C-alpha cells in the first residue's frame, strides 16, 4: 500500500518538531507495512499486536546514545558508516559472546543476514529446506532468485518435525532452523537441537544450517542454550541474532551473524556494505553493553503477560502452542481473516495469515495493560462468532 509523505509522517509519529521516542525506535506494528497493511499512527488508540516488537522500546542507554549522536558534537547522520563504526559493534558483539570480531557480520536487521545466506548457499540445484510454517524471509528470497524450496510440515505439537526435516535436507544447500519458531512460538529443546544438528551435519555434509535465534532472549527454559559454540566449531553452521525483539530496536534495523571466520568471509563477499546508519551502530553498541538487567527485566515482564494471555485463551477452550517467545499462536476456531478484521474494527491489530493453518492467529504480546484491553476485544469477537455459528 503506497503512503503519502503526510500519512507516513503521521504513521511514524515524527515531524518537524517530532521528539525522539522509544515507541518510534521500536517501530511497533510496522512490520505490517511489508504485508500490505497501513500501520496505526502514533496518536492512534489502536493496540498493535501484529509485529512481535518489545512494546516498551529500548532502554535509556540506547536513547542516550542516539541523542548524543544527534547532538552538536555528534555529526553521525552526516557521515558514512565506515569501519570506524563497524569495527566497534563487531568488537562489542564478539566480547559479549566470547568470540572474535572476525566471527561477526552485522546487517540491517537479521533480515539481511538471512537474505545473504540464502543467496550464497542455495540455488535451483541446492534447495532451501525449512518448516511450514516458519519465518518467510529465506523462502521468499529463494523464490526470487530461483532457488528450489522444500517445506516440511510441523509435527502434531506444532514443533519442527526433525525426522522428516533430516531426510528432506539431504543434499540441500541450506537448512533454515528457526528456534524458537516464528510464527508458531514453539521451541525445540537444546538437547534435541544439538542431537539433530549433529546428525544433520553428518547425514548431509554439503548442507549449511542457519539457526535463527531472534527470540532466544524471551526463552525462560533455564536449560536452553545458544548454538553459537557449534557455529564456532563448524563452518557450516551460522547463528543469526537481532536487536529488533527484546532489545526494542526494530526501527533501527540491526542484526548480526556469528559463525566461523571462513564462513563470515563467504557471506561478506555478497553482503551489502553501508546498509546500517551510524546512529543505529551507536545504538546497538549501547544496547549490547548495557546492564544485563534490561533483558532480564524484559523477559520477566513478557513472561507474566504471556501467562496471562495464554490463560485467557485456554480457559475458553482455544488451543495455544507452548510459547517461548513474545507472541502466541492461537487456534481461534474461525477463519483468520474474519478474526483479524473483527479485531481491527475494535481497535486491535493481530498477525497476518500463516498458511496452511487458516484458523490460527499469531498475537504479539503488548504490555499487561494492553493485553487486558485486548482480551476483552478477543472475548467479544469470539463470543459473537460462537453465537453466529449456533
Reported as a single tens digit per residue, the pLDDT across 153-199 is: 999 999 999 999 999 999 999 999 999 999 999 999 999 999 999 99
In this structure, the strands spanning 327-331 and 360-364 are: antiparallel
Over residues 362-374, the pLDDT tens digits come to 999 999 999 999 9
Q: Are 48 and 29 within 8 A, CB to CB?
A: yes
90 within 8 A of 220, measured Cβ to Cβ: no
Distances (CA, A) of 228 to 109, 232, 250: 18, 6, 22
pLDDT in tens, 114-125: 999 999 999 999
pLDDT of residue 5: 45
Predicted confidence band of residue 69 (pLDDT cuts 50, 70, 90) = confident
Same structural domain, 123 and 21: no
pLDDT of 74 > 90? The answer is no
pLDDT at 9: 40
Which one, of 172, 170, 177, 176, lies nearest residue 124 by Cα? 172
Q: Which of 74, 80, 26, 76 is nearest to 48 (CA)?
A: 26
Cell of 295: 533483558
First-to-final CA distance of the chain: 37
Confidence of residue 70 (pLDDT cuts 50, 70, 90): confident
Domain with 149 in it? 64-289
| 150 and 94 within one domain | yes
Reported for 384-388, long-range contacts at CB under 8 A and 24+ positions apart, including other chains, are 384/342, 385/333, 385/334, 385/338, 385/339, 385/342
Identify the pLDDT of residue 1: 43
Mean pLDDT of 341-364: 96
Residue listed under C-alpha cell 516458519? 134
> With contact defined as beta carbons under 8 Å apart, do 276 and 108 qualify?
yes
pLDDT digits (tens, 9 = 90+) for 270-327: 988 778 888 898 899 999 999 999 999 999 999 999 999 999 999 999 999 999 999 9
Strands 104-107 and 255-259: antiparallel
Contacts of residue 106, defined as CB under 8 A and 6 or more positions apart, other chains included, come to 86, 89, 90, 93, 254, 255, 256, 276, 281, 284
Whole-number average pLDDT of the chain:
89
Verify that 52 and 134 share a domain, yes or no.
Answer: no
Same domain, 133 and 277: yes
Q: Are residues 234 and 336 in the same domain?
A: no
For position 138, what pLDDT does the model report? 97
List the Cα angle 118/122/124 in 5-degree steps: 135
pLDDT of residue 272: 81
Give the pLDDT of residue 273: 75
Of 234, 262, 289, which residue sits at a domain end?
289
Q: Based on the fold, state whether residues 172 and 282 are members of the same structural domain.
A: yes
- For 124-159, the pLDDT digits (tens) are 999 999 999 999 999 999 999 999 999 999 999 999
Question: Mean pLDDT, to the nearest integer, of 66-80?
Answer: 70
Q: Are residue 145 and residue 268 in the same domain, yes or no?
A: yes
Residue 111 is part of a domain; what is its CATH number? 3.40.640.10
Instruction: Clarify whether residues 299 and 284 are in a common domain.
Output: no
Q: Whose CA is closest to 106, among 314, 263, 276?
A: 276
- What mean pLDDT is predicted for residues 67-81? 68
Amino acid at each position: 500500500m503506497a503512503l503519502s509523505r503526510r500519512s507516513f509522517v503521521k504513521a511514524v509519529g515524527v515531524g518537524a518538531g517530532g521528539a525522539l521516542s522509544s515507541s518510534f525506535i521500536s517501530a511497533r506494528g510496522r512490520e505490517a507495512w511489508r504485508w500490505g497493511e497501513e500501520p496505526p499512527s502514533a496518536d492512534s488508540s489502536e493496540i498493535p499486536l501484529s509485529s512481535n516488537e518489545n512494546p516498551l522500546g529500548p532502554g535509556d542507554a540506547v536513547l542516550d546514545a542516539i541523542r548524543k549522536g544527534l547532538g552538536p558534537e555528534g555529526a553521525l547522520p552526516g557521515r558514512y558508516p565506515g569501519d570506524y563504526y563497524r569495527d566497534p559493534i563487531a568488537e562489542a558483539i564478539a566480547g559479549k559472546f566470547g568470540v572474535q570480531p572476525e566471527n561477526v557480520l552485522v546487517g540491517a536487521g537479521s533480515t539481511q543476514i538471512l537474505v545473504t545466506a540464502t543467496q550464497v548457499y542455495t540455488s535451483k540445484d541446492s534447495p532451501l529446506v525449512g518448516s511450514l510454517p516458519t519465518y518467510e524471509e529465506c523462502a521468499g528470497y529463494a523464490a526470487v532468485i530461483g532457488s528450489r524450496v522444500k517445506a516440511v510440515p510441523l509435527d502434531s505439537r506444532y514443533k519442527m518435525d526433525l525426522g522428516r526435516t533430516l531426510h528432506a535436507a539431504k543434499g540441500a544447500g541450506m537448512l533454515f532452523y528457526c528456534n524458537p519458531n516464528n510464527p508458531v512460538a514453539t521451541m525445540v529443546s537444546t538437547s534435541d537441537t544439538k542431537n539433530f544438528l549433529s546428525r544433520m551435519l553428518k547425514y548431509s555434509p554439503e548442507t549449511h544450517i542457519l539457526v535463527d535465534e531472534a527470540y532466544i532472549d524471551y526463552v525462560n527454559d533455564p536449560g536452553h542454550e545458544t548454538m553459537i559454540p557449534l557455529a564456532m566449531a563448524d563452518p557450516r553452521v551460522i547463528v543469526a541474532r537481532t536487536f529488533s525483539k527484546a532489545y526494542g530496536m526494530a526501527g533501527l534495523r540491526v542484526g548480526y551473524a556469528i559463525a566461523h571466520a571462513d564462513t563470515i568471509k563467504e557471506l561478506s563477499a555478497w553482503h551489502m556494505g553501508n546498509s546500517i546508519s551510524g546512529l543505529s551502530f551507536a545504538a546497538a553498541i549501547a544496547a549490547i553493553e548495557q546492564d544485563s538487567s534490561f533483558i532480564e527485566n524484559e523477559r520477566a515482564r513478557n513472561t507474566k503477560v504471556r501467562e496471562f494471555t495464554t490463560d485467557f485463551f485456554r480457559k475458553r477452550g482455544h488451543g495455544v502452542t507452548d510459547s517461548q517467545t513474545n507472541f502466541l499462536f492461537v487456534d481461534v476456531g474461525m477463519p483468520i481473516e474474519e478474526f483479524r478484521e473483527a479485531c481491527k474494527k475494535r481497535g486491535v491489530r493481530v498477525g497476518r495469515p500463516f498458511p496452511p493453518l487458516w484458523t490460527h492467529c499469531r498475537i504479539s504480546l503488548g504490555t499487561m495493560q494492553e493485553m487486558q484491553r485486548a482480551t476483552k476485544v478477543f472475548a467479544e469477537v469470539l463470543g459473537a462468532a460462537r453465537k453466529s455459528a449456533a
